Chain A
Amino acid sequence: MKQLVIISGKGGTGKTTITAAIASMAENAIIADCDVDAPNLHLVLEPEITEASDFHGMEIAHIDTERCTGCNICIENCNFDAIYTDHSINSCKCEGCGVCEYVCPENAIKMINNPSGSVFDSMTRYGPMVHAELMIGEEASGKLVTAVKEHASSLAGENGAELIICDGPPGTGCPVIAAITGADLALIVTEPSLSGIHDLERIIQVTDHFRIPAIVCINKYSINEENTKQIEISCKENGIIVAGKLPYDTIPNKAMIGKKTVIEYADNEFSENLREIWKTVRSELCESP
């Protein structure tokens, strides 16, 4: 079984549009929305939830005010400034390390369960899908991404699926690293703006760092053909395949509004280019060890 992850560094380059399109072309695949901060794939694929499970991130500290003598030892030892001067816990800042519980001389602090989201196993018109919801301001988005991927792997096992397609989050930090871990190939969606190029360079450093093979797709190429050329040259110099280019077009928005993938929406140059991109991605996936 192979794992494809779609990432970008920069947000808004078209990851979800392209993931949804690939989902509608791939056969025998499990779809996973690993952008748990701001998931969008379900808006197009309209999954029907078959099973919802609670997700618990890190436990967080709870102070028993009856026992607390106000000695402040917990406050002095907390490296996250997560305990207010009135000895209540700032749940956004508490990382759940357990240091306060350990140092409290009165046994007034307990680490308690902290429901921080949900993972959904679902069915779509293109096969099984896993997605998630993170409660606002929760710390554990990387951990939730890992939970989504675990659900996707076990669904893949049950269904004898050959591929897991992961829609990744923007950025280069914790949730991105969780999303690309274990992937056989990263499809990086970029755009020919200075920001797109800058963020492409950073995300390639991340995939290199974790030794994930990467392939690039240039979206909205017609905004700046000069920059597009520059991306193509620099990818070539670095031995990275450019799987294809997509023009700047209103098609993705129109398809999205109609809750369709761009492949379903209409046959045109845009969908044709995407089919070619998928062919290249698929053959790269087959070749990956």
Chain B
Amino acid sequence: MKIAIASGKGGTGKTTVAVNLALSIQDAQLIDCDVEEPNCNLFLKKELEQVTEVTSMIPEIVEENCTYCKKCSDFCRFNAIATLPNKILTFPTLCHSCGGCIMVCPEGAIQKHETITGIIRKTSADDENGPELYEGLLDIGQTMASPVISELKKNIDPGRTAIIDAPPGTACPVLTTLEDVDYCILVTEPTPFGLHDLKLAVEVVRTLEIPHGIVINRSGSGDDSVEEYCMNEGIEILMNIPHDTKIAQLYSEGIPFVQEMGQWKEKFIHIYSSIQDRYGREIEA
């Protein structure tokens, strides 16, 4: 089954929950979909090998064929092409790769040009210790995270458990990550900021009709408003991770706390079994 870890607000502990959960259960895949800032491997510290490059198609103008008729720039809704009287300019970072400019050009003056926007990496095949990690990495200066996430998710093995670390926010990259997951763990912190963004995240999972539960991180560092909200909305609180200097220090050193505080492993296994029992799909033969 596919379990996503999401949050709305950044820095609430998505990666912490994803990594510790993946380390606690058997034979998991860990899919780091925060392709703008992938951090799971800072905790696993594995050698990664490249699986594939993510490319997108951008227009390349064959200027000797171009008559500067403006049909391409008029068609492009992303302002990625500008036609001047004797010059045509393209802005690759604005291009969404729809292919429209190529279709509308009456002179055949636009070619497809592949550009790399990111890469997908994984733990090497002979590394059998711990979860199998896949991560996507968006190139610096690139704007389009979603295509990297879509490509990354193709590596999910439907026969295994995938723990999916989502990016923060509520926009397109989050929706691409959450599409077709079986369950979503929302991680929050007990503060007004945490609660505000939790409500946005709950709206997302409700819209997508994904079953969900909450992990409260740094529990005890703020107020009770998150717990009250969950009670009023009938949302299950799966776990409280206390506000604890030792956990914060281990985090800062990139050490998953289940490795140093063994009792937590049981708690993560318990969460997993209870999700699996209720929401796990029968694997189709």
Contact = CB atoms under 8 A, between A and B. Distances in A.
Interface stretch (B83-91, B162-170, B231-239, B264-272): B162-170
Contact of B251 (A80, A193, A257): A193
8 closest pairs, A vs B, by CB? Answer: A11-B10, A12-B11, A97-B98, A37-B169, A171-B36, A194-B254, A193-B252, A170-B10
Interface string B1-31: 0000000111110010000000000000000
Interface string A94-127: 0111110011000000000000000000000000
Contact of A43 (B8, B42, B174, B193): B193
B100 interface: yes
A153 interface: no
Given A97-B98, A174-B143, A177-B143, A11 B171 contact: no
Size bracket of the B interface: 35 or more
B203 interface: yes
A159 interface: no
Contact of B75 (A11, A98, A170, A248): A98
Contacts of A169: 169
B252 A38 contact: no
Contacts of B185: none
28 contacts: A9-B37, A11-B168, A38-B10, A40-B197, A43-B193, A79-B97, A79-B99, A80-B98, A99-B100, A99-B103, A170-B36, A172-B138, A172-B140, A173-B144, A173-B145, A175-B171, A176-B36, A191-B252, A192-B252, A193-B253, A202-B140, A205-B140, A223-B245, A224-B252, A227-B252, A253-B222, A256-B192, A257-B223
A62 to B, nearest CB: 15
A58 B253 CA distance: 43
Q: Which of A79, A96, A134 has the most CB of B within 10 A?
A: A79
Contacts, number: 183
A141 B138 CA distance: 17
Residue from B42, B98, B103, B200 whose CB has the most chain A CB atoms within 10 Å: B98
B87 to A, nearest CB: 23
Contacts of B124: none
A198 B42 contact: yes
Interface of A: 9-13, 16, 37-38, 40, 43, 58-59, 77, 79-80, 92, 95-99, 102-103, 134, 136-139, 141-142, 169-177, 191-196, 198-199, 202, 205-206, 209-210, 223-224, 227, 248, 250, 253, 256-257, 259
Contact of A10 (B37, B100, B143): B37
B221 A12 contact: no
Given A13-B11, A97-B98, A257-B191, A141 B249 contact: no
Contact of A11 (B9, B221, B248, B253): B9
A196 B100 CA distance: 40
A103 B104 CA distance: 10
